[in-house]
Amino acid sequence: MLTSRMQDTLSHDAAHTLAGGGAGALRGPLSEHTLRGAFASGLDSASVAAGVTGMVAGALVLVLVRTPRAVTDTAQAPAKRAAASRA
């Protein structure tokens, strides 16, 4: 994700070198502004993808995980009604 977005500004090899921490090797042929812009662009897209994934995961948790409902025992219900009517 990071390198694919960097390839909009840099070549394929330069994007992989920058993502791998080789910015020092690229400072000669490329300007500092170009390297920083390409890295920021790649990092932005990776952050947005992570945020969207987190939001979707949170929504799925809210939809799929339910609290247990109170269990009513229907066999004891008539006995409780009879006891309540005698009182």
Query: What is the arithmetic mean of pLDDT over 16-33?
Result: 82
Is the pTM for the entire model greater than 0.85? Answer: no
CB neighbours (10 Å) of residue 59? 10
Residue 74, pLDDT above cutoff 80: no
Cα(31)–Cα(39) distance, rounded to whole angstroms? 13
Instruction: Report the alpha-carbon distance of residue 34 to residue 36 in Å, rounded.
Output: 6
> Given this model, what pLDDT does residue 53 score?
97
